[in-house]
Amino acid sequence: MTPSTMRAVVYDQPREFTVKEVPLRDPEPGEVRLKVVQGGVCGTDLHLHEGGFITSYPLTPGHENVGTVEALGDGVDSFRVGELVAVNPNTTCGKCPACRSGDRLYCPSFGGWGTLKPGGFADYLIVPEEQVFSAEGLDPDVAVFAEPAACAVHGIEILQPRPGTTALVFGTGPTGLLLAQLLASSGAAHVTVASIAEPQLRRAEELGLDSAYLMVRGRLDDDIAELAKRGDGGFDYVIDATGVAQVQERTVELARSGGTVLLYGVAHEDDRIAISPYEVFRRELTIRGSFAEIDTVPAALAALRSGRIRTDGLITHRFGLDDYGAAMDAVRSDDSAHKVVMTP
């Protein structure tokens, strides 16, 4: 029998959270209630901690969720109780000009469970049926990557890589490795990953990526020079998955003429990078951004299912709800952390 309360991480204001019992309601018509299996922690959660994004308190974070279906609201017929599912946390208003032109990602109300609405760092999570996707047969340690992988799929849809091309990905966090593997199975014949994180680079090699390059803090000029040499005229695609503006600024010179730079990592709002408009013109470069996802969870699950994206070994740290602070510390500053997950 489902209890009438559950434990949840709850913020009442920026930087102030507690883990406490909160009421557990029944799913309304069209909703699904999940027993949370686990949920990934990512940079967005650190940002929420600092008071970013949020419009209203109390808030429960957790937007990378996998769970089992526990109760169905009226009219929900596409799932059965007990089924393993992943959640798409993003939704939009449906009424603004962006939504009505098919550009849902640019909806001013873009957001959802774990950012604007109660998320999955809790025992249970209630979401509308249309946000739920079957993950039956997948290991929960794979399915927990559905949301970040969906973002990466969206990035690849923006890039539309051509077959036989080369790619360079900066950053080997979970996101960098998802992107790199998707590139390798979406056209790029050779993918190089580069970062300052040695254990992550070893994992990149284990996952079968073509080449891994260890950067050294404070030696960016040398690293760029060496990567330029390896690029031999430039990479067709250069992707930033570090979010570090100094790195982003150096992506342009590493792109082949006619190539594309994808700014995927999240820089600070007041960072600026210096670009040569003459170079963009003369070498016909493209610089693009990729933001979140709205409809690529199915594609992400397909890629996880078939092994186009592998995640073995990526989860390095697991925490219970009571240790949410420690989980954030690991994401923030533990060099040995790769993917960190919360298990209620």
Ligand X SMILES: NC(=O)c1ccc[n+]([C@@H]2O[C@H](COP(=O)([O-])OP(=O)(O)OC[C@H]3O[C@@H](n4cnc5c(N)ncnc54)[C@H](OP(=O)(O)O)[C@@H]3O)[C@@H](O)[C@H]2O)c1
As measured in angstroms, the least distance from the Cβ of 91 to Zn ion is 9
Closer Cβ to ligand X, 71 or 213, answer by number: 213
34: Cβ contacts below 8 Å, ≥ 6 apart: 65, 67, 68, 69, 70, 85, 87, 120, 124, 125, 126, 127, 132
- Please give the angle made by the CA atoms of 162, 295 and 136, to the nearest 5 degrees: 100
Q: Is 92 in the site for Zn ion (CB under 5 A)?
A: yes
* Residue 200 sits in the site that holds ligand X (CB under 6 A): yes
Residue 195 interface partner, choices its own copies, Zn ion, ligand X, none, CB cut-off 5-8 Å depending on type: ligand X
The position carrying tokens 């927990």 is 144
**Binding residue for ligand X, selected from 60, 172, 186, 311, defined by CB under 6 A:** 172
Q: Report what 92 binds from its own copies, Zn ion, ligand X, none; CB cut-off 5-8 Å by kind.
A: Zn ion
Nearest approach, Cβ of 229 to Zn ion (angstroms)? 22
How many angstroms separate the CA atoms of 145 and 140, rounded? 9
132 binds ligand X (CB under 6 A): no
Strand, helix or coil for residue 205: helix
Query: Is residue 107 at the binding interface for Zn ion, with CB under 5 A as the rule?
Result: yes
Task: State the binding partner of 174 from Zn ion, ligand X, its own copies, none, CB within 5 to 8 A by kind.
Answer: ligand X
Cα dihedral: 78, 291, 145, 37 (round 10) = -60
By the rule CB under 5 A, 99 interacts with Zn ion: yes
Token pair of 195 as six digits: 């970062």
User: Closer CB to ligand X, residue 186 or residue 242?
Assistant: 242
Phi/psi zone of residue 9: left (φ > 0), alpha (ψ -120 to 50 degrees), beta? beta
Q: Give the Cα separation of 151 and 51 in Å (integer).
A: 23
93 contributes a contact to Zn ion by CB under 5 A: yes
Instruction: Give the relative orientation of helices 245-254 and 220-231 as an angle to the nearest 10 degrees.
Output: 30
Residue 123 CB, shortest distance to its own copies, in Å, is 26
C-alpha distance from residue 290 to each of 240, 293, 330, 341 (Å):
11, 9, 26, 24
Q: Taking the C-alpha atoms of 119, 344, 86 and 131 in order, what is their torsion angle to the nearest 10 degrees?
A: -20
Contact range with ligand X by CB under 6 A, out of 82-90, 171-179, 302-310, 318-326: 171-179
The letter for the amino acid at 9 is: V
Are the CB atoms for 279 and 149 separated by under 8 Å? no
CB of 104 to ligand X, least distance (A): 14
Q: How many residues bind ligand X (CB under 6 A)?
A: 29
Question: What part of residues 230-259 is at the interface with ligand X (CB under 6 A)?
Answer: 241-244, 247
For its own copies, the closer CB: 172 or 290: 290
Binding to ligand X by residue 126, rule CB under 6 A? no
Question: Shortest Cβ distance from residue 44 to ligand X (Å)?
Answer: 7
Report angle CA 71, 72, 73 to the nearest 5 degrees.
Answer: 125
Residues 201 and 209: beta-carbon distance below 8 Å: no
Q: How far is the CB of 270 from its own copies (least distance, A)?
A: 8
Q: Residue 65 touches which of Zn ion, its own copies, ligand X, none (CB < 5 to 8 A by kind)?
A: none
Instruction: Provide the binding-site residues for ligand X, judged by CB under 6 A.
Output: 42-43, 148, 151, 170-176, 195-197, 200, 215, 241-244, 247, 264-266, 281, 290-292, 335
Instruction: Provide the binding-site residues for Zn ion, judged by CB under 5 A.
Output: 92-93, 96, 99, 107
